[in-house]
Amino acid sequence: MIFAVLAPLLAACFIPIISKVKHKLHTGYFVFFVPFVIFLFFIQFVGNDFTTVHQSINWIPSLDINFDFTLDGLSLLFVLLISGIGSLVVLYSIFYLDKAENLGHFYVYLLMFMSAMLGVVLSDNVFVLYTFWELTSISSFLLIGYWHFKERSRYGALKSMMITIFGGLSMLGAFILLYVITGTASIQEMIAQTDAILASNYLPLVLVLLLLGAFTKSAQFPFHIWLPDAMEAPTPVSAYLHSATMVKAGIYLIARFSPILSLYEWFFITVSLAGIITLCWGSYMAVRQTDLKAILAFSTISQLGMIMAMLGFGTEAAVFAAVFHILNHATFKGSLFMIAGIIDHESGTRDIRKLGGFMTLMPISATLAAFATFSMAGVPLPFLNGFYSKELFFDSTLGLENANLLSQAIPYLAVLGSIFTFVYSMYFFFGVFTGPKKLDQLPKKPHEAPVGMLISPFILVLGVILIGLFPNMVNAPFLVHAAQAVNNQVEFHEVYFWHGLNYPPMIMSLIVVGAGIALYVTREKWAGIYNVLPGKLSFNRVYDMIMEKIDTYSAKVTDSYMTGSLKTYMVIILTATLVVTMAFMFITDGFTISFNNLADITVIETSIVIIMSIAAIATIFTRNNLAAIIVVGVVGYGVAMLFVIYGAPDIALTQFVIETVTVALFLLCFYHLPKLRKRSESVGEKVVKSVISIGFGLMMTLIAISAHSSNGFDVISDYFLKTSYKLGGGDNVVNVILVDMRGLDTLFEVAVLGIAALAIFSLIKLKKGKEAE
């Protein structure tokens, strides 16, 4: 599993090379095989005899952070969606994106996102999950802002990242609290300690923080505002992120932690209420939109709300229906995004007001769209998979046992949201493919898309039909295992189309169809309601106002201390370090003083320290550049002498070399600087500097004494003394530590110096080049 997670990242490393031959072959052909092979690998696990698979690789075991991967029914569902839809999206992008585009960047971002999503759904360690979670936010930011030359793309990318990363940090807080409660970072082990979590005083805070992470990622009300703006991304990105992957991450999070939190009464209230409100608001607002992708964006919001509500119900029927709809939504919504992209690609616009009559112009696309939109609408036809999960949703709303007002209102709200779902589905299909043609309003003459662009939506629509005709084909070997990972009470129940006209969910479906037709036909007459609700109210305005205030006040704060004065910067840095360090030592009782096990102090050491002190004080009063360099060097060489006296010749030699180089560098610098002169400073400035200097020196002294006097941790020197020869093969412990024990640290230090040298060399060359011009 670790290879499957990292394979897209490894493949991304070769994209810059492969993209160089884009004039010969589209980069997407190489990328396609990455998700396709992953899909083929995981499809073998589907079956009635499926059992959970675990894999663990140590990463940071001392912090209980390891690559612990678990493949159960839930993660298998998401892995197949990520890799399967990912394969189709890459295939679609080959024909959608021209080779003149910056394909190297696009596919690197896409593979990075794919790897992050696989890591999220397979990770059992909460901190590794969080790492991949934030990587999805970063990579989606890059994908949404792919056309960075467009202002709306940059705005949408930033908006999505700000909201989802806010939720991600909240989720991290929940993970830390869960770790504190259970003492483990494993999700499966946390589930085993459900009683301890439910009995904890931290439980309400855990729920709030976890839901913030899930709601922001899955665009639940009122955090849904980022999703419509994310539609500025290329259509392949929209089809991938917003039908099968990124927006489903929040759904996955709730499903994964449902075995713990569903036993808490507030889980049902908050998750169900948020989900049902999102369903109603998203479907209601979708009818208002004029951009095809905006319609689909709000439809995605509504569909995610429906799934979230079912997870909130937590019943056996609701959990199975939620899992079923996750699969169905990916098929019909992915195909609809691709068809919207085809319409935009072939006509030059996504404005539904300029579209119409495309049934004769694009008959294949129209046929595919018909199956997908009618499935999304939940039309009661046996070959549409969306109807089955919609009917199961209605059934789950009627099966709620709680007698509170929310439980009683949910079936009515479910019907209301579904009515508008039907309306926006009809609005999308008939608004594009029927009615009079408006060719004079189109940027270019529309025609049917090339075959290559139709393959991916055709496969997805084929999935809509096959799942509709044979729902139990994916039920027992696949969906039941996924549902059991959320609620272990779920059992296999055969899914079939006809239950009779007196079946309550069927009656609800017929009400949806009847009311939906009536509202669609009369849409122009009641559309004015949007001037009242939402009217001028908008969460987008709230977001923009918050961001504007943040920018304004952060600029004021930054301008207050970014004065260009090095003296001011040093005062701020030293003061902050002094205050924070001293406060921390006070809180943690760090002012420990012990004079045990001290070496004898002779006249030699005392003399050296006195000379160093005099030299250090002299740096304040000297007015000669050369004298200042000498007295600073005396301090450094004095430290080296102390190393020699106390038996550390290697460190002393290092100190001598560094001090010599430092003095030489000082000489070079001071040669080009004016001579030191007496500065006119007020008494207040002198007092501030004196307090900071004395306080900082006192702080360092107390830290040194406390480090010697306290024993908060085991002495690490014993470990190095015992293992230096065994592990490093050397008698010189210091050398073994630097070369073997901390070899990577040393390597990276050398790499940093090399990078710095290259940067300096580049700046010098750049300056010379400009001077030559």
Supply the DSSP string of 392-458, one letter for each residue: HHHHHHHT----SHHHHHHHHHHHHHHHHHHHHHHHHHHHHHSS---GGGSSS---PPPHHHHHHHH
pLDDT for res 504? 92
Max mean pLDDT range (269-273, 501-505, 563-567, 747-751):
269-273
pLDDT for res 423? 96
What b/e string do you get for 24-45 counting C-beta neighbours within 10 Å, with b at 16 or more? eebbbebbbebbbebbeebeeb
CB atoms within 10 A of CB 627: 14
Instruction: Summarize pLDDT for 329-376 with one digit per residue, the tens.
Output: 999 999 999 999 999 999 989 999 999 999 999 999 999 999 999 999
Tell whether the model's pLDDT for residue 671 goes beyond 60. yes
pTM of the model: 0.84
Region of poorest pLDDT, from 392-406, 501-515, 593-607: 593-607
Region of poorest pLDDT, from 210-214, 621-625, 683-687: 621-625
The DSSP-derived string for 718-733 is: HHHHHHIIIII--S-H
pLDDT for res 131? 94
Instruction: Summarize pLDDT for 522-552 with one digit per residue, the tens.
Output: 998 999 899 888 888 888 888 999 999 999 9
pLDDT for res 163? 94
CA-closest candidate to residue 119, choices 60, 172, 79 = 79
pLDDT for res 366? 95
Tell whether the model's pLDDT for residue 616 goes beyond 60. yes
Rounded to whole angstroms, the Cα distance separating 253 from 133 reads 10
The whole-number average pLDDT for the span 470-484 is 91
CA atoms lying within 13 Å on the CB side of residue 373: 25
Rounded to whole angstroms, the Cα distance separating 545 from 553 reads 12
pLDDT for res 155? 93
Max mean pLDDT range (44-58, 198-212, 623-637, 640-654):
198-212
pLDDT for res 403? 62
pLDDT for res 349? 92
Class of residue 137 by CB neighbours under 10 A (exposed 0-12, middle 13-18, buried 19+): buried
Residues sharing a CB contact under 8 Å with residue 562, sequence separation 6 or more, in sequence order: none
The whole-number average pLDDT for the span 156-170 is 94
Instruction: Summarize pLDDT for 290-339 with one digit per residue, the tens.
Output: 999 999 999 999 999 999 999 999 999 999 999 999 999 999 999 999 99
pLDDT interval class at 282 (50, 70, 90)? very high
What b/e string do you get for 553-573 counting C-beta neighbours within 10 Å, with b at 16 or more? eeeeeeeeeeeeeeeeeebee
pLDDT interval class at 655 (50, 70, 90)? confident
The whole-number average pLDDT for the span 105-128 is 94
pLDDT interval class at 770 (50, 70, 90)? low
The whole-number average pLDDT for the span 432-460 is 91
The DSSP-derived string for 156-190 is: HHHHHHHHHHHHHHHHHHHHHHHHHHHS--BHHHH
pLDDT interval class at 72 (50, 70, 90)? very high
The whole-number average pLDDT for the span 275-293 is 95
Spatial contact of 635 and 620, defined as CB atoms under 8 Å apart: no
DSSP 125: B
CA-closest candidate to residue 428, choices 538, 516, 307 = 516
Spatial contact of 213 and 168, defined as CB atoms under 8 Å apart: yes
- CA dihedral sign, ordered 431, 436, 438, 439: positive
Name residue, tokens 């139709």.
454
Q: Which long-range contacts (CB under 8 A, 24 or more apart) does 692-698 make?
A: 692/571, 692/574, 692/575, 692/578, 695/578, 695/582, 696/574, 696/577, 696/578
Rounded to whole angstroms, the Cα distance separating 577 from 699 reads 10
Tell whether the model's pLDDT for residue 6 goes beyond 80. yes
pLDDT interval class at 500 (50, 70, 90)? confident
Spatial contact of 275 and 310, defined as CB atoms under 8 Å apart: yes
The whole-number average pLDDT for the span 170-177 is 96
pLDDT for res 505? 92
Region of poorest pLDDT, from 323-327, 509-513, 556-560: 556-560
The rounded percent of the chain whose pLDDT value lies above 90 is 56
Tell whether the model's pLDDT for residue 22 goes beyond 60. no
AA identity, residue 435: G
Rounded to whole angstroms, the Cα distance separating 419 from 428 reads 14
Helix (H) or strand (E) holding 68: strand 65-71
The whole-number average pLDDT for the span 95-118 is 90
| Mean pLDDT score across all residues of the chain | 89
Rounded to whole angstroms, the Cα distance separating 313 from 408 reads 13
Rounded to whole angstroms, the Cα distance separating 391 from 317 reads 11
Spatial contact of 275 and 220, defined as CB atoms under 8 Å apart: yes
Tell whether the model's pLDDT for residue 773 goes beyond 80. no
The whole-number average pLDDT for the span 419-447 is 92
pLDDT for res 407? 87
pLDDT interval class at 432 (50, 70, 90)? very high
pLDDT for res 763? 86
